[in-house]
Amino acid sequence: MLDFSSLLLAAALSGTCLSITLLAIWFTTPMARFVLTVACGMLVLVAHVVLFWQYGRDPGPWLCQAVLALLSLGFLIICLSAMQYLGVRHYRSVVLPTVAAMAVCAAVTYFGLDGVGFILTYVAVTALLTVTGVLFWIQGGHDRRILLVVSFLSGTCALSFGLCAAMLVVKGQWVLGVAPDNWAERLNSVVAVACMTGLGALTLSLHHLQAQIELKAETLTDPLTGLMNRRALMSLYGERAFGPFMSVVMFDLDHFKRTNDVFGHPVGDKVLCRFAAVIRKYGRTGVDAFRLGGEEFALVMSRMTEEKAYDFASKIGVAFGAEVVPTPRGPLRSTVSGGIGFGEVGGRSLEDVLAEADRALYAAKNAGRNRVLVLDRASKADGSALRSA
């Protein structure tokens, strides 16, 4: 026969240790706010368990209300931490119903219907845990294995609280006067300890996973423009074979060194960011943009014919020529030159396609800049320069 008090104390000890661990992690990485939220939620649940243990020894109406309020509040905070981690901002859709349920629970408990109060609280907790599990099941986009385990634990814990509510309803225990004690409560205590321990361990895993994702994003992103960098280009396409409907266009801002010398590097940075903004404006599925370094940029285009790729790159060049950057010396217009390299039926390496695009870019600069050229395509190579409205 399981000792109910021992189970409660085990849950409190487990939650306290996990909370301390999570708080220590948050102190070292303050940006991981969801870790702090989980720790706070667990501390509230620890307070609930301690008061519930005391309520079992010396029941009282005010202590009962505190026990039920802390239980709902603790799982509300846990649910909010899941929303925080997953980037779901509709907090009020969870907070308002829970607060309403807590208010009703306090009212019925005040009038002596403590059994009804327990039922309402268990139902609210079941709903919160269900929402948490569903959010991780639907919204999670990283390591599905971890997120599915979180969903499973949340669902299991929700089921155990649902059973507690069902037992009280089936027995018609609308008024208790003491802490409920039945097989469902004992099972819930075991499940709660297991789920609390598992949730803490998975929170550490999610924190580690998020840190890895952020670190990878930093290493693959150009900090000035927000575009991907050369490392990202090699990571995504270094081993790819470029077929006939894939191409790379290399852009180089015209006279960029002179822009820096005359207007200063801050203005030069604005010009680079303005060109990145133009690329984003024309962004579409199948087009990845990269800043290779300095004033050099590249686009990898998939599922495009050679003609469409050329037209797409030319539109970006024309659009950038129409951009005006305000400076202390007056408005500044800049232009860009581009060269395109194409894949082929048998497949070409990124290195070969980049080399072709680089030769075409060199030809564009020699031809007067402010244009996009393609090697061995005389109709385009001999065309007029792009307008810079």
Which residues participate in catalysis according to the annotation?
295
Q: Which helix (H) or strand (E) holds 289?
A: strand 287-293
Residues 239, 241, 246, 250: what is their CA dihedral angle, to the nearest 10 degrees? 50
Distance CA 272, CA 351 (A): 25
134 closest CA partner among 167, 182, 93, 183 = 93
Distance CA 357, CA 237 (A): 15
User: By the 8 A CB rule, do 336 and 253 touch?
Assistant: yes
Q: Which residues contact 324 (CB under 8 A, 6 or more apart)?
A: 331, 332, 333
89 closest CA partner among 123, 139, 145 = 139
Q: Which amino acid is at 352?
A: D
Distance CA 349, CA 184 (A): 63
- The β-bridge relationship of strands 246-253 and 228-229 is unpaired
Q: Which residues contact 159 (CB under 8 A, 6 or more apart)?
A: 126
- Residue 312: how many CB atoms within 10 A of its CB? 19
Indicate the burial class of 336 (C-beta count within 10 angstroms; 0-12, 13-18, 19 or more).
buried
